[in-house]
Structure 1
Amino acid sequence: MLDLVILLLLVAGIVLVTARWKVSPFLALMGAAVLGAFLYRLPLVEIIPTVTTTFGTTLGNIGLVILFGTMIGVILERSGAAIAMAESLIRILGTRFPNLTMSLIGYIVSIPVFCDSGYVILNSLRKAITLRTGVSALATSIALMTGLYATHTLVPPTPGPLAAAENIGVADNLGMIIAVGLPVSVVAALAGLAYASFFSRKDFAPLPAEDAADISEQSYDELRESYGKLPNGFLAFFPILLPLVLICVGSVVKLPARPIGDGTLFDVVSFLGTPVIALTLGLICAVTLLRGHGKLARFNEQINDSVRIAAPILLITGAGAAFGGVLAASPLTEFLSDNLSGLGIGLAVPFLIAAALKTAQGSSTVAIVSSSAMVAPMLGSLGLGSPEGMVLSVLAIGAGAMVVSHANDSYFWVVSQLSRVPVATAYRTLTVATLIEGVAAFAAIWVASLFLL
């Protein structure tokens, strides 16, 4: 119980110093990581290695993805491509439902792509649609965030659900996981969309723009006119579509069935589908959108701006991972799993274990992988030993891994910083959105269990 109280105090401390006293989230998270290591009585010789290793590993895994994605976003903004994309989508979907547009795009994109990367790639499009339609930026941020989150934790070939299926023993039944996971994730996305709609006409005070050229600092008409002739709609989408398609195909060929075998073609497709390579190719495509004289000078300027914009996001993301690493190394995870596993409440057990681990250490993927390993031996005693029960358990773990995104989750900081949502507002909106979404997903899974079990 003391371990849980320590966690609550640490999280409350982060909230207090960042929201009220405006301390940098990076410093608050690093301070919480070090303080938490002492409070959880980690051996002194392990404290610094735990913090630095998780910090470095996280930046090593997604640092370049965030950086290259930011570069693509900046070029799309400055070239007018984001406006061209917004107008293309609006011609198809209309201007009445911008939140639905963002939720739908996020829902599709996050099936093969990590939600962090998806948000980085799509943020410039979100800003353009926000400006074009006049809806609150907070609403479109929540809609995109929850749309991405819905499939990220529930639908293979995203790595989390794949790993859970392997741990639980249903990796050969991915078709059923996808067939059940898609409608469940639709329910989750709709719940997030409904919550986002409450903020459609509500103003909030955003964080200051990085510079005067930020897309949200101008009216849509002014911005549209400043670019003159916009890029072709298809070419504008291509820097986003190419990396998404490559990552998606790269994920599909790695499925256990190995649809194209394990030869040279597999190696090439897997390489091209690596997020860093795919985004590098997307960046090359984005550069072709630059027009007129002085393209090289503008390219260099925009790359420098991208590095400056991405730097605080990278530091905050790494610090959040360090905090999560300390919690993962503490006795807290064992305490939570031991106390929840003995309740005997069926599908609620994998859901609650995943939710507890997610809230404690931040990473949805880590929560999914850890929870599935813990839950696998319990499934028979929980009445979930059938193939259908195992599939529903995978999905229940995915639903739990949404609950809740807060200070120790890199996704929380990616969304809040890129969307310029103040920390206090983010806790009241983004965190609540993930709670609603996770509970809605579990409710849909429970309804499905009435027919499948």
Structure 2
Amino acid sequence: MLPVHTKSLIMSNIAFTSTLVVLSIVAIIYLTAKLKANVFGSLFAVSLALALLGTDLPLAKVIDTLKIGFGSTLGNISFIIIFGAAIAVCMQKSGGALSIATNILNLAGKHNAKPAMAWTGFIPGLTIFCDTGYIILSGIARSISANAKVPMPLIASILGSALFAVHCLVPTHPGALAAAATLNANIGWLVLAGVAFSVPGLLAAYFWSAWMCKGQNYAPAQLEQEEAISTAQLPSFGFSLLPVVLPLVLISISTLLTTLGYKTGFAAPLHFLGNPVIALLAGMLCAMWLLAKNGGKKGDFSHVLEEAILKAGPILIITGAGGMFGAIIKETGVGSALGQALGSASVGLLVPFIIAALLKTAQGSSTVAALTSAAIIAPSLSTFGLDSDAGRMFAVLAMCAGSMVASHANDSYFWVVTKLSNIEMKESLRVFTSATIVMGLTSFACIWLVSLFVL
């Protein structure tokens, strides 16, 4: 047994280090949210300061630790993010995303405009970033609002929430993907679970948005003549779905075979195809074929990759910086101490959710919220009872649900939804922002409830 004064010294060191970690998180929030400082610069500066003040690393090892944390994170996700961005660019340029949306709406009819709007965002949103998806689909949203006489704030909130739900929870998107890479969670299972848990969250946001608009004098959209949507030149619905569905199917098949115990023999080629990098590459090739089939030229493919790299670059840099910050937090040992203090899997899931929700609300980026939460939680997985395949998956899902709460004025996506819908900020805050809070809380409640039977 340790002497009392030794225990006191250890507790003092833990308290001091924990305070430094908390202050470092506050510093990142303050720099990025209040001072509008560059996210990478903020993460690097705070990581370096924490390494010098809060760890026992020799000076010669500080930079090496930063580089290893940065590089290992990028190695896990860089190809996937670039190929995913290329799919999004091709789907936009070929009209594939618009084809999916218009076909869903045509099948549903005007009397089902609201649920159709939810599916219109949900399916393309599986691979397209939420801001890109809203930009592409905003014209359809205004058209449906005007023709079906549905208040525009309601249509905007439903479409925005549908895109946002899968953007936060499904690891075809950078926040969930970075968190999964940091915690070494199974991406195949996360894809399936993310899609499943995004549905109750979206349903909650859907009914909440309708309730918030009830009795309000919100008007339908007013269309200009040039906003009439022509669908004659769009690719077919089936071909448009291929780049979205194929990667998900390949990853799911590989995951199912692993679960059933088939890892070699006939399953080996399927596991290769189900590797997220190869699956997203297959999706990208299908998307490029779709673009070529619908007016694309030979030089367009180089431009697609260039545009995808430009879109992916900032995300990769920020994600790598988050991994760097996580590597330094791991060196402080505070994660293990936090896990020992809280001690159980059910409580443990609440911690990443709260951290992600606070980060998201304070600084605006769901991606930064998810990856920073993952970096903080990773060292304490075993003491939370989450150091298993299922535990890691639920930890990622919890922080991704937290990264939904809440989209408001410091989030660029909030302004995309507000401005492209031509609605007032106060209307958007009242309907859309509150819907993201309800969506995050509902998704987490479902995640936590299921975890009670699984963990």
TM-score interval, smaller chain: 0.5 to 0.7
In 2, Cα distance between equivalents of 1:418 and 1:194: 21
In 1, Cα distance between equivalents of 2:46 and 2:119: 38
In 2, Cα distance between equivalents of 1:74 and 1:399: 27
Residue in structure 2 matched with residue 144 of structure 1 by the alignment? 163
Contact 2:335 2:376 in 1 (8 A): no
The offset of 1:340, in angstroms, is 1.6
Residue in structure 1 matched with residue 319 of structure 2 by the alignment? 317
Q: Percent identity?
A: 26
Amino acid at match of 2:382: A
In 1, Cα distance between equivalents of 2:266 and 2:390: 34
Give the alignment partner of residue 246 of structure 2, picking from 242, 247, 252. 242
* Change in CA separation of 1:439 and 1:33 when aligned onto 2, cut-off 3 Å: same
In 2, Cα distance between equivalents of 1:262 and 1:147: 29
Residue in structure 1 matched with residue 279 of structure 2 by the alignment? 278
TM-score if structure 1 supplies the norm length? Answer: 0.65
Count of residue pairs brought into register by the alignment: 382
Give the alignment partner of residue 79 of structure 1, picking from 71, 81, 94. 94
Residue in structure 2 matched with residue 129 of structure 1 by the alignment? 137
Pair 1:373-2:373 in alignment? no
Pair 1:251-2:255 in alignment? yes
> Residue deviations 1:181-205, cap 9 Å, x none?
998765445445567779999xxxx
Pair 1:65-2:80 in alignment? yes
Contact 1:139 1:199 in 2 (8 A): no
CA RMSD of aligned residues (A): 5.0
Contact 2:94 2:295 in 1 (8 A): no
Q: What pairs with 1:86-97 in structure 2 (closer than 5 Å)?
A: 86-93=101-108, 94-97=112-115
In 2, Cα distance between equivalents of 1:331 and 1:431: 36
> Residue deviations 1:194-217, cap 9 Å, x none?
67779999xxxxxxxxxxxxxxxx
In 2, Cα distance between equivalents of 1:282 and 1:66: 12
The offset of 1:67, in angstroms, is 0.5
Residue in structure 1 matched with residue 236 of structure 2 by the alignment? 232
Q: What pairs with 1:143-162 in structure 2 (closer than 5 Å)?
A: 143-147=162-166, 149=168
Residue in structure 2 matched with residue 22 of structure 1 by the alignment? 36
Q: What pairs with 1:439-450 in structure 2 (closer than 5 Å)?
A: 439-440=441-442, 443-444=445-446
In 1, Cα distance between equivalents of 2:434 and 2:21: 19
Give SS of 2:299's match: helix
In 1, Cα distance between equivalents of 2:389 and 2:320: 33
Give the alignment partner of residue 299 of structure 1, picking from 282, 298, 301. 301
* Change in CA separation of 1:95 and 1:125 when aligned onto 2, cut-off 3 Å: farther
In 1, Cα distance between equivalents of 2:169 and 2:272: 27
Give the alignment partner of residue 101 of structure 1, picking from 119, 142, 164. 119
Give SS of 1:65's match: helix
Structure 1 segments unaligned to the other structure (5+ residues) = 110-117, 153-157, 166-173, 202-217, 379-389, 407-411
* Change in CA separation of 1:247 and 1:229 when aligned onto 2, cut-off 3 Å: same
Residue in structure 2 matched with residue 267 of structure 1 by the alignment? 268
Residue in structure 2 matched with residue 207 of structure 1 by the alignment? none
> Residue deviations 1:217-247, cap 9 Å, x none?
x98965945x861111111111111111111
The offset of 1:88, in angstroms, is 1.7
Contact 1:371 1:397 in 2 (8 A): no
Contact 1:54 1:318 in 2 (8 A): yes
In 1, Cα distance between equivalents of 2:323 and 2:304: 28
The offset of 1:299, in angstroms, is 2.1
TM-score if structure 2 supplies the norm length? Answer: 0.65
Structure 2 segments unaligned to the other structure (5+ residues) = 1-14, 143-151, 172-178, 215-222, 360-368, 418-424
> Residue deviations 1:332-357, cap 9 Å, x none?
2022112222xxxx774333455478
